[in-house]
Amino acid sequence: MTASARDFGIVCGTMPTGTHNAITDVPGVKVGHITIREGNINTGVTAILPHDGNMFRQKVLAASESINGFGKSAGLVQVNELGSLETPILLTNTLSVGTCVNALIKRAVAANSDIGRTTSTVNAVVGECNDGPLNDIQAMAVTEDHAYAALDAATTGVVAQGNVGAGTGMTCFGFKGGIGTSSRRIKLDGKDYHLGTLVLSNFGRKGDLTLPDGRHPTPDFPDQPEKGSIMMIMATDIPLEHRQLQRVIRRCGAGIARLGAFWGHGSGDIVIGFTTGNTIDHDQKSDLVTMQALNEDKIDQLFRAATESTQEAILNSMCAAESFNGRDGNSRKSLADWLKLNS
C-alpha cells in the first residue's frame, strides 16, 4: 500500500477524518483512474462521479472557484451560472481536455437521446494540469476510450493515490506530485456528514513547501518560477445552497497557502465543488422547489474542513507518489523518500 502523510506522523488540523480519509467518504461518490505509461508517455485520466444515477437528469448542486486562472478547464462558466453539475468530472493533462469533453458528451447523449434536440445540450466538466515535463504531452495520447475506462473503473472506498490516473506525470514543489485525497467528518443536528477533497497536484516552487511541523523539504531540483497547476475537487453531503458552497470551496485556497504556495502567475489553481445534499431534477414540473441550506452560524466547520482536507490531500499526493523517471530522462524524487531520510 502506498504511503500517506499520516504514515510519517504528519497530521493536518484537528478535525476527525472519514473512514477512508478520502473524497469517497461522501456517500455515493466514486473515483476511477486509467494510467498510461508507455515510453515517454506518462499521463492518464481520473474520474469523479457524484452518484450512480443519470447525472444529466439528476444534477447535483455545484460551484467553481478560480484562485489563479492560468488553466484550460472546460464547463466552469455554466457551473457557476446555473449552480449545477450534470456530468461526472474528468481530470487529465492540458492537451487532452477536448478528448475528455467529447467522451463525456457522448456518454450523456447515449443515455439521454433528447440532448440537443428537444432539451438543452450538456455541459461536460473537465479539469487539467500540464504534465509536459514528465509526459510527451504533444503526443495527445489520451483517447476517448481512456476516458470511458476511468469512468467505468470508478468505485467507492479506498482511492488510489500518487502516480495514478491524471496524476501520473505531475510535479509538486519540485517533488513528484499526483492524485491525493482526504476527508473530514462533521456532526450536524446529531448526524455525521462528510466533506472530502481530491487534488491533482502539479504546482509549487522548490523550497517553498512547508510541513505542518515547520520543516521545509527541498529536493535536488533546479530552481524554477512558481508554475504548474492544481485541480481541487471538493464534495460534501451537507445540504448547501450555491452561495454557501462557493464560500466553502474558496477555503481550499487556504489549504494550498498553509503549505507555502502563493498562487504564482503561471499556476492554474482551480476548485470544483459539489454537494449531494441538494439535487436538481432536470424534468422538474413544479414551479417552486424546496431546498435545504446550512445554518450559516455553523459554516466555519466547513471552512476548516475544506482547508484541512485540501492541505492533507496535497501531502498525500506527494507521499503516495514514488520517485519517477519520465520523458527524456526527466525525473522527480518522492517526498516519502525525503521524509524517511529526515525523520
Q: Tell me the pLDDT of the chain (343 aa) as tens digits.
A: 579 999 999 999 999 999 999 999 999 999 999 999 999 999 999 999 999 999 999 999 999 999 999 999 999 999 999 999 999 999 999 999 999 999 999 999 999 999 999 999 999 999 999 999 999 999 999 999 999 999 999 999 999 999 999 999 999 999 999 999 999 999 999 999 999 999 999 999 999 999 999 999 999 877 877 778 999 999 999 999 999 999 999 999 999 999 999 888 888 999 999 999 999 999 999 999 999 999 999 999 999 999 999 999 999 999 999 999 999 988 999 999 999 999 7
Q: How far is CA 335 from CA 4, 149, 151, 160, 215, in A?
A: 10, 29, 29, 17, 12
Given the residues 229, 309, 317, 334, the one annotated as active site = 229
Count other C-beta atoms under 10 Å from residue 19's C-beta.
12
In terms of DSSP bridges, do strands 84-85 and 58-69 run parallel, antiparallel, or are they unpaired? antiparallel
φ and ψ of 234, to 5 deg: -110, 130
DSSP symbol at 119? B
| Nine-digit cell string for 171 | 510535479
Predicted model pTM? 0.97
* 267 catalytically annotated: yes
Query: In whole angstroms, how large is the CA radius of gyration of the chain?
Result: 19
In the chain, the amino acid numbered 151 is L
Residue with cell 440537443: 116
Q: Structural domain boundaries of the chain? A: 5-9+17-217+225-282+294-341
Name the catalytic one among 183, 267, 309, 334.
Answer: 267
Tell me how far apart the alpha carbons of residues 264 and 160 are, in angstroms, rounded to a whole number: 29
- Among candidate residues 25, 131, 237, 269, the one labeled active-site is 269
Cα dihedral 90/96/97/99 (nearest 10): -90
Report the CATH superfamily, name and number, of domain 5-9+17-217+225-282+294-341.
Answer: L-amino peptidase D-ALA esterase/amidase (3.60.70.12)
Verify whether residue 213 is a known catalytic residue: no
CA–CA distance, 212 with 6 (Å, rounded to integer): 12
Sign, Cα dihedral of 240, 241, 244, 248: positive
Q: How many CA atoms lie within 13 A of 293 on its CB side?
A: 10
* Helix or strand (DSSP H, E) at 68: strand 58-69
Alpha carbon distance 76, 293 (integer Å)? 23
Please say if 192 is a catalytic residue. Answer: no
How far is it, in rounded angstroms, from Cα 343 to Cα 341? 6
Mention every residue, 6+ apart, whose C-beta is less than 8 A from residue 268. Answer: 68, 69, 70, 71, 72, 73, 128, 129, 228, 229, 230
